[in-house]
């Protein structure tokens, strides 16, 4: 059961992040002061892909809630973070980001660290 929950968390998180990155770059610079938060909430409400990303995040969140109840936090958090390497590849292929040598090496080091953390 824990691997099914983990798969749901990883897939839904990756889809959510790709949609969020794409839409937020299009929306322009945002902030989180009082005025910025109001503007940000308005931006979310007006963009259907951002709303879809929130739905994906909600699916990921509820699966994560079930996961942390059954498994130690020190497993659940790093294991669900394995989605970021999939996302880094998709960021290069889909979002056309420049994932150079340093960024790629850094991401791999972080992945190695996450794997060690996850045991």
Partner 1 sequence: MRFRTYSLLGLFVFLRPVGNLSLAWGTKHFPQVLSWNPVVYLRAMVDPFVALGIAMLILSLLTRLALLSLADLSFVLPVTAIGYVLATLFGQMFLHEAVTIQQWMGSVLIFVGTGLVGTTPQNTTPNSKESA
Token code pair at residue 93: 């292929």
Other Cβ atoms within 10 Å of 72 Cβ, number: 9
Q: In angstroms, what is the minimal distance from the CB of 42 to partner 1? A: 12
Closest CA to 62 of 13, 11, 9: 9
Query: Is the separation of the CB atoms in 9 and 80 below 8 Å?
Result: yes
Q: Does 59 bind partner 1 (CB under 8 A)?
A: no
d(CA 24, CA 22): 6
* Interface pick for partner 1 out of 37, 46, 51, 55 (rule CB under 8 A): 37
Task: Tell me the closest approach of the beta carbon of residue 117 to partner 1, in angstroms.
Answer: 4
User: Would you tell me which residues interact with partner 1 (CB under 8 A)?
Assistant: 17-18, 20-21, 24-32, 36-37, 40-41, 44, 50, 57, 61-62, 65-66, 68-69, 72-74, 76-78, 81, 84, 87-88, 91-92, 95-100, 102-103, 105-119
């Amino acid at each position: 059961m824990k691997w099914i929950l983990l798969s749901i968390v990883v897939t839904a998180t990756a889809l959510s992040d790709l949609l969020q990155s794409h839409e937020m770059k299009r929306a322009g610079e945002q902030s989180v002061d009082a005025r910025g938060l109001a503007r940000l909430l308005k931006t979310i409400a007006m963009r259907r892909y951002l709303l879809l990303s929130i739905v994906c995040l909600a699916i990921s969140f509820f699966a994560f809630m079930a996961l942390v109840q059954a498994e130690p936090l020190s497993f659940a958090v790093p294991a669900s973070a394995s989605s970021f390497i999939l996302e880094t590849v998709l960021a290069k292929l889909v979002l056309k980001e420049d994932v150079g040598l340093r960024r790629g090496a850094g991401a791999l080091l972080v992945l190695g660290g996450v794997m060690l953390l996850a045991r």
